């Protein structure tokens, strides 16, 4: 399983800049999704305010509410059929336990397709993947490419031979 080093800075009550933490963040790898990894690196359910001491903010749901944000990474393995003997109900419970709220956004009739009330910024670190929109339109993405999604219905696919690793920033949005 992959780990990512997370260094966080903050300020003391006297205003001095400090390193608040320096640690490894382990990936979350649901058994029901072989090869997928998710790293929840930072986030908050509220708008940040400064100065900040660098302490982690409490958040539970995978996707942020309006005014909240999430920063993370995810790995998309090459496309493969579901594991033999897959217990879908148990798998969905596992995903809900490890990544609260993620499964609720997934469409059971169209695997991988989902819509969130967020503005998403994705950066492809390595590998290649395909972003599919609700009308079947697709775009191939590779290392160094970025995507800005504005609450669109989409799915991530990987018809290639190597995993794709993306960094993502999700910002909770409101309806007009």
Q: Report the pLDDT value the prediction gives residue 124, as an integer from 0 to 100.
A: 98
Closest to 100 in 3D by CA, of 25, 43, 166, 24: 43
Tokens of 104: 């609720």
Q: What is the dihedral of CA 117, 121, 124, 125, to 10 degrees?
A: -120
Instruction: Identify the CATH class of 27-172.
Output: mainly beta
Domain limits, the chain: 27-172
Kindly report the pTM of this predicted structure.
0.91
Structure confidence at residue 82 (pLDDT): 75
d(CA 156, CA 152): 12
At residue 98, the pLDDT reads 94
Tokens describing residue 168 = 């993502």
- C-alpha span between 68 and 45 (Å, rounded): 4
Which residues of the chain fall below pLDDT 70? Answer: none
């Amino acid at each position: 399983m992959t780990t990512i080093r997370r260094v966080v800075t903050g300020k003391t009550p006297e205003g001095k800049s400090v390193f608040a933490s320096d640690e490894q963040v382990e990936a979350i790898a649901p058994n029901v999704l072989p090869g997928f990894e998710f790293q929840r690196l930072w986030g908050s359910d509220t708008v940040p305010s400064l100065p900040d001491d660098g302490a982690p903010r409490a958040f539970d749901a995978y996707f942020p509410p309006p005014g909240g944000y999430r920063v993370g990474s995810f790995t998309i393995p090459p496309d493969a059929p579901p594991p033999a003997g897959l217990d879908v109900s148990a798998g969905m419970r596992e995903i809900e336990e490890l990544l609260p709220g993620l499964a609720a956004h997934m469409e059971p009739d169209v695997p991988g397709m989902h819509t969130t009330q967020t503005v998403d910024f994705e950066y492809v670190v390595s590998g290649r993947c395909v972003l599919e929109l609700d009308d079947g339109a697709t775009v191939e993405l590779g290392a160094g490419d970025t995507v800005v999604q504005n609450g669109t219905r989409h799915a991530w696919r990987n018809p290639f031979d190597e995993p794709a690793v993306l960094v993502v920033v999700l910002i909770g949005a409101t309806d007009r």
